[in-house]
Amino acid sequence: MTQPRILVTGATGKVGGAVVAQLRAAGVPVRALVRGEAEFPEGVQAVRGDLGDPASLGAALEGVDAVFLVWPFLSADGASDVIDVIGKHARRVVYLSSAGVQDGGGKEEAGEAITMFHTELERLVEASGLEWTALRPTGFAGNTLGWAQEVRATGAVRAPLAGLARPLIHEADMAAVAVQALTTDALLGARPVITGPELVTQERQVALIGEAIGRPVRFDEVTLEEAVEQMKAAGYPAELVEAVLPAQAKMIDHPEPVNDEVERITGTPARSFREWAVDHAADFR
Ligand SMILES: NC(=O)c1ccc[n+]([C@@H]2O[C@H](COP(=O)([O-])OP(=O)(O)OC[C@H]3O[C@@H](n4cnc5c(N)ncnc54)[C@H](OP(=O)(O)O)[C@@H]3O)[C@@H](O)[C@H]2O)c1
């Protein structure tokens, strides 16, 4: 495709925001789906629409060739109608899925709510008749922004599983892969698992955030039971808490594989968690 017109959903979020910025920097015409007021780089057109209301998406999809699709809900309800309406306008969809999705349906993951909706979204995208790519990232480095407020307030993080090591991925790397999928034919019909460059324990992540902000940050380990209560009290939906923590506990014994797909696809090695922490130091200061 040459100079496709692209609609980015989740454009005010971590990954969609990075996709918008990188497409703009490359001079590709970008439209951002928004639900409210939002600021974007000059030249980005913001159009209102809500993924929970497929009928609201028509204006945003008018004249669009490709869509970067972030599904912001915890179930696939309504997804079929959204993909139908995308198919009436665009010819390509790039879906932000998850590394938890297993080809052929992994039994271990079968009961896991988040993996289930991503599996269903991938199925819908593949059956849509559109050109498609499903990106399967591991955990986001940006999840650690959930610690930002307590780091600023207390200089410590109270969390379970200090020794849990994950290859967290920088949103800029997910965006760089998404830009390839949106603007070239290199990833048509592909489901690349994309990871950060190395396993980093949660305790080390906290230490690297401390290095990035120039003062030490302590990791105070709590039990899984305490963490469940803590997350629910902080307003996280029960389905999310009940899906995420047990899945993370399993990863202690079965760490996620690390790969070099980001470099293979984009030509640039995946950014480290240290780099992510430096890029986001202001959020933790
Ligand atoms: N976190 C992880 O470790 C991980 C791993 C693999 C996959 N994922 C997937 O990544 C996705 C989240 O990406 P992210 O972290 O970049 O998102 P994010 O920063 O949490 O932002 C969510 C985005 O979705 C938009 N949104 C929310 N509800 C919407 C609606 N009803 N209609 C239209 N837009 C809506 C928000 O817009 P507003 O500004 O209007 O709220 C915002 O732009 C999820 O699908 C998740 O399952 C996450």
| Per-residue pLDDT at 1 exceeds 60 | no
Radius of gyration for the chain, computed over Cα atoms and rounded to the nearest angstrom = 19
Ligand 1 centroid to 62 CA: how many Å?
A: 22
Q: 81: CA distance to ligand 1 center in Å?
A: 18
Nearest CA to ligand 1 atom 36: 10
Rounded percentage of the chain residues whose pLDDT exceeds 70: 96
Alpha helices in 165-213 (DSSP H): 171-183, 202-213
For tokens 């951002």, what's the residue? 32
User: Given CA atoms 227, 229, 234, 240 in this order, what sign does their dihedral have?
Assistant: positive
Nearest CA to ligand 1 atom 28: 72
d(CA 51, CA 196): 29
Q: Shortest CA distance to 141 belongs to which of 274, 267, 284? A: 274
Residue 80: name the closest of 27, 42, 69 by CA: 69
* CA 104 to centroid of ligand 1, rounded, Å: 26
Length of the chain in terms of residues written: 285
Write down the residue that tokens 């209560």 correspond to. 229
H or E element that contains 224: helix 224-233
Average pLDDT along the chain: 94
Residue pLDDT, tens place only, 5-47: 999 999 999 999 999 999 999 999 999 999 999 999 999 999 9
Predicted pLDDT of residue 239: 81
Q: What is the pLDDT of residues 166-207, one digit of tens each?
A: 999 999 999 999 999 999 999 999 999 999 999 999 999 999
List the residue whose alpha carbon is closest to atom 23 of ligand 1: 10
Compute, in angstroms, the gap from residue 256 CA to the centroid of ligand 1.
22
